Amino acid sequence: MEPRPRSFYALAAVFVLFLIFLYGPTLTIAILSFQGPGGGLTFPMRGVSLHWFRDLFEQQAVGDIWGSFRRSFVLGLMVMVTTVVVSVMGGLAFRKRFAGSGILFYLIITSLVIPSILVSLGVGLIWSQSGMTVHWSTSGFGAQLTWTLPFGLLIMFAVFNRFDRSYEEAARDLGASPWQTVRHVVLPIIAPSLIGVALFGFTLSYDEFARTLLTSGSYNTLPLEIFGMTTNVTTPVIFALGTLTTIFSFLVIVLFLAVVWVTDRRRKAHGSDAGKGMV
């Protein structure tokens, strides 16, 4: 291998600085969340303790954090499943280049670029003017889909752009019905990307703030609860909460990556049975 040019080391230094910039603040609050009971929101540390984490588990100190966490989790799962199903169907639809697909495509782009507060405001207004009560599982759910679906669809477009259609032709030649082709050929091939879509669906929903602001009603989701805390909580308990939710997000990401890794290995272990004469 040829020696690395000098620019490599300069760029590597920039990259490391970028990583410190990305993770530094998160590490700062992770450290501060172990602040001693007498400590404040900034350094210096006055002792090390789990005091603020314990506070999180006492209702009166922080309000309804666990309720909001449960709601965010359920909502995240709802959005995740819907995003995967609707994105796959949408991705399959766009391959057919049906009349009007251009308009639908521009709607997806609009959905991606529209300032989130507009979705929040518009959905909130529709619900209030037609006398319905906004709730995280109805209006909040729909408002979040306008943010997760464009991501899911863009991934599906990327996947189908690289998709080799000869697999489907082969399936058709062997007499598979259109449904069988999708079920036994297309879906297994795109499965790893679907895990990616699911990850986007869950985490974007779990962390979404602006689109749920006016659409979730009287029961807060976790980001709304955290937002409320930033205005009236002046102890490191908010850092403890930040650390816990960040750890939770990391666990979710690791879980998804593990699923990708396992499916990838299983697929490689299975290998192809082409030419083995199996029926």
Contacts with other proteins in 120-179 (CB under 8 A)? 121-123, 125-126, 129, 142-143, 145-146, 149, 153-154, 157-158, 161
Closer residue to other proteins (CB): 44 or 175: 44
Closer residue to other proteins (CB): 252 or 274: 252
Min dist CB 277 to other proteins, Å, is 35
Residues 11-50, interacting with other proteins (CB under 8 A): 11-12, 14-15, 18-19, 21-26, 28-29, 32, 41-43
- Among residues 61, 74, 77, 93, the one that binds other proteins under rule CB under 8 A: 93
Closer residue to other proteins (CB): 7 or 272: 7
Compute the Cα dihedral for 10, 16, 18, 20 and give only its sign. negative
What track of x and - describes contact with other proteins for positions 203 through 232 (by CB under 8 A)?
x---x-xx---x--------x--xx--x--
For the chain, the residue count is: 279
198 binds other proteins (CB under 8 A): no
Closer residue to other proteins (CB): 113 or 274: 113
The three state secondary structure string of the chain is CCCCCHHHHHHHHHHHHHHHHHHHHHHHHHHHCCECCCCCCCCCCCCECCHHHHHHCCHHHHCCHHHHHHHHHHHHHHHHHHHHHHHHHHHHHHHCCCCCHHHHHHHHHHHHHCCHHHHHHHHHHHHHHCCCCCCHHHHHHHHHHHHHHHHHHHHHHHHHHCCCCHHHHHHHHCCCCHHHHHHHHHHHHHHHHHHHHHHHHHHHHHHCCHHHHCCCCCCCCHHHHHHHHHHHCCCCHHHHHHHHHHHHHHHHHHHHHHHHHHHHHHHHHHCCCCCCCCC
Q: Torsions phi, psi of 35, nearest 5?
A: -50, 140
97 binds other proteins (CB under 8 A): yes
- Among residues 61, 74, 116, 217, the one that binds other proteins under rule CB under 8 A: 116
Min dist CB 203 to other proteins, Å, is 4
Q: Which stretch binds other proteins (CB under 8 A): 7-15, 57-65, 163-171, 185-193?
A: 7-15
5 binds other proteins (CB under 8 A): yes
Q: Which stretch binds other proteins (CB under 8 A): 49-57, 80-88, 165-173, 265-273?
A: 80-88
89 binds other proteins (CB under 8 A): yes
Residues 246-265, interacting with other proteins (CB under 8 A): 246, 249-250, 252-253, 257
76 binds other proteins (CB under 8 A): no
Contacts of 34 (CB under 8 A, 6+ apart): 45, 48, 49, 50, 52
